Amino acid sequence: MSTKPTKKKPPTQKAIAMGGRIRTQREHLGFTQSQLASMIGVSENAITQYETGRSSPRRERIGALAQALGKSIGWLLTGDEPEEEVKAQTEAERDVLSAMRDLPPEQQDFIVKMIQGLKK
């Protein structure tokens, strides 16, 4: 009984691109591979595989991974995201943006001026 050696397929461009997004956002958030792995219930090696494009997250893990990274599933899969999310990179920035949307325009203007005043 002979067994044929299996050749692994090289990573696809899409997998490599998604891996780069995962790694960049993980590092931006200050997570180690081990921390991210425990957040979504996979091994540290799985995160390494994702980040290098050698494997992709299973469907049931994509939502958890996107949430752990603070991004949308669409961003994780394609890199596309709404303009507001591009500008709001941290959780605090997203919280401010969300709160601002609930205010009338004149109060939004006041908040912007107040923030600008803090920078001086």
Q: Please check the confidence at residue 33 and state whether its pLDDT lies above 70.
A: yes
- Within 8 A by CB and 6+ apart from 61, the residues are 40, 41, 42
Q: Indicate the pTM of the whole model.
A: 0.63
Highest-confidence segment of 10-19, 28-37, 84-93, 110-119: 28-37
pLDDT in tens, 4-25: 666 778 888 999 999 999 999 9
pLDDT, tens digit, 9 for 90 and up, residues 44-95: 999 999 999 999 999 999 999 999 999 989 889 998 876 655 565 677 877 8
Per-residue exposure over 65-97, b if at least 16 CB sit within 10 Å of its own CB, e if not = bbebbbbbeebbbeeeeeeebeebeeeeeeeee
- CB hemisphere CA count around 32 (13 angstroms): 6
CB atoms within 10 A of CB 56: 18
Q: What is the pLDDT of residue 1?
A: 54
Any idea where the domains of the chain sit in the sequence?
10-81, 82-120
Note the CATH architecture for domain 10-81: Orthogonal Bundle (1.10)
Q: Which residue has the higher pLDDT, 70 or 1?
A: 70
